[in-house]
A and B are shown apart, each in its own frame.
Chain A
């Protein structure tokens, strides 16, 4: 078995009265896209920032290719933070060139521009970009050193659906180059599409970890039945069903569709708007972290 590119060992980050990360351990093999999922405040960003060497842990350690994070890691890591401002008054090309100048090795500036589809924006002031364009520029900056490991912290938060899909395509093309990617997100569709392995975090701990398909098989029966909440009478809640109640919908997880439908018909639940679909990561996420709103 090959040595993991990144190893996280017993990571703890304690703030005055809160424990942001409460003992997290995992390893990331080279060439995979590893997703850290979790609700707001779960400790994803704190964990990834410790992994990036930006934030010191209270205890525990992160090793890159078997060594503590150091100069080699900084040369070989590419980072896209959740929020980043660039230097004012620079064009897209100049912003990329600035960061290229900070690394000993890397890609040619023009190649990075091409890779991130920024050709038409190269001479534009970096403050005059849309959200999606800005994220493409930040990704370009994260790629200037041709990194072995790429950290993407909630890269598509706030983007419209088109910009988000375009960004996913870009990340998929980087993944195809056998780069290791560490991704935090709370878009389950994003994780499902891009990640080979995921770790779901809640309250500073990892609650489940593994390849998405394997986790779904572990935690769910084959299918999910969805009904609008207003079609689901209170009496039906007493039925022996595995229910997940959302604000708009009621979901039933089952491996016996016929039996479940019979129960629902007996309880006179209208089935006009019934939808049947396989379980996805969002179901797993809600199952593991709960559906209630976090403070």
Chain B
């Protein structure tokens, strides 16, 4: 069994690596995503620190501190708005210049610690108040979503079209005349795509996290487990769709029917908290939702395997269920 599986896996990998068009598309698209993220969220001229000032308008002449270099001062309309941003470290310090001068600093923020020193050098008697809260930029929250979305498209469309092409050309029929079983064939396709997806996701992870300065709060191996199970579940889902049909148009349509709701409802772009309960039920049926919830828990909150176990179990169970259903309903030839 292993020998047959490895033969198919090896041949599929060779085919993929030599198909320059697909290879280029599969690797260049994520790189373009990285460059796009860099253009949107990167840039060399960014100030080192960001200080919120409770005022309607920043007047650099109002205080010596406001003329500090490498500090960006942003006007905050009121104290609660500024404090909310400070809690999520969207600003490093909040300053109210009205006498007596007061400032708030986030004790969890390293940048807040340094910018506080700068402030006290310019205004030694300022009254100190503290808040606490971890940094949560939108891009940090979005980052797992981008990885998951790329993974979803690669998993579903990557294997779906390949299997339909094999069936249409008669290659599957030829394989059927050998001792190869449907389960072995499908497992080889899953493993081949899994290797590719992990490779591309690793490139994306390193590229984007370098550009946006993301720090993974969790264990990278736990994240790898999440990535493997997520990819397995979604590749197996793609194979289930492609298990019987021999029309690229039909399979393309079915894959679109799956990917669009997943893209909108799995929480790639925004959280579904507060959305109607039925929307959340649908969302929680999608493997991508569990993949993203688990990835965010690890990357943003440092969650371990135990904390994300329900998500991992769901992903593993769906991977097995999809693969078993795919093998059961698999057709080697056009009926």
Contacts and interface: CB of A to CB of B under 8 A. Distances in A.
Interface of A: 52-54, 71, 74-75, 77, 79, 81, 83-90, 94, 97-104, 141
A4 B173 CA distance: 27
B14 interface: yes
A88 B170 CA distance: 12
A94 B175 CA distance: 15
B190 to A, nearest CB: 17
Interface in B13-70: 14-15, 18-19
Nearest to B17: A89
B7 A53 contact: no
B3 to A, nearest CB: 6
A84 B174 contact: yes
Contacts of B18: 88-89
Given A89-B14, A90-B14, A102 B180 contact: yes
A86 B153 CA distance: 26
Interface residues of B, number: 26
B180 A84 contact: no
Contacts of A97: 7
A164 B6 CA distance: 35
12 contacts: A77-B177, A84-B170, A86-B171, A87-B15, A88-B15, A89-B18, A90-B15, A97-B7, A98-B8, A101-B3, A102-B7, A104-B3
Contact of B177 (A53, A88, A89): A53
Main SS class of interface, B:
helix
A170 to B, nearest CB: 19
B333 A89 contact: no
B11 A98 contact: yes
Contact of B4 (A77, A83, A90, A101): A101
Contacts of B111: none
B11 A90 contact: yes
B6 A94 contact: no
A141 B166 CA distance: 17
Given A89-B15, A102-B4, A79 B177 contact: yes
B210 interface: no
B3 A54 contact: no
Given A74-B179, A84-B174, A101 B7 contact: yes
A81 B173 contact: yes
Contacts of B179: 71, 74-75, 102-104
A85 B176 contact: no
A287 to B, nearest CB: 35
B169 interface: yes
Contacts of A74: 177-179
A79 B174 CA distance: 8
Contact of A84 (B6, B8, B173): B173
Interface of B: 3-4, 6-8, 10-12, 14-15, 18-19, 166, 169-171, 173-180, 332-333
Contacts, number: 73
Q: Identify the 3 closest CB pairs spanning chains A and B, nearest first.
A: A101-B7, A85-B169, A89-B18
B323 to A, nearest CB: 20
Main SS class of interface, A:
loop
Contacts of B8: 98, 101-102
Contacts of B10: 98, 101
B335 to A, nearest CB: 10
A259 B4 CA distance: 68
A124 to B, nearest CB: 13
A194 B178 CA distance: 26
A54 B174 CA distance: 9
Contacts of A71: 179
Contacts of A81: 170, 173-174, 177
Given A84-B173, A85-B171, A103 B15 contact: no
A189 B55 CA distance: 99
A283 B173 CA distance: 35
B178 A84 contact: no
Nearest to A76: B179
A87 B14 CA distance: 10
B48 to A, nearest CB: 51
A54 B4 contact: no
A218 to B, nearest CB: 35
Contacts of B4: 101-102
B178 A99 contact: yes
Contacts of A54: 173, 176-177, 332-333
Contact of B7 (A83, A86, A98): A98
Contacts of A141: 174
A239 to B, nearest CB: 51
B21 to A, nearest CB: 11
A233 to B, nearest CB: 51
A141 B173 CA distance: 14
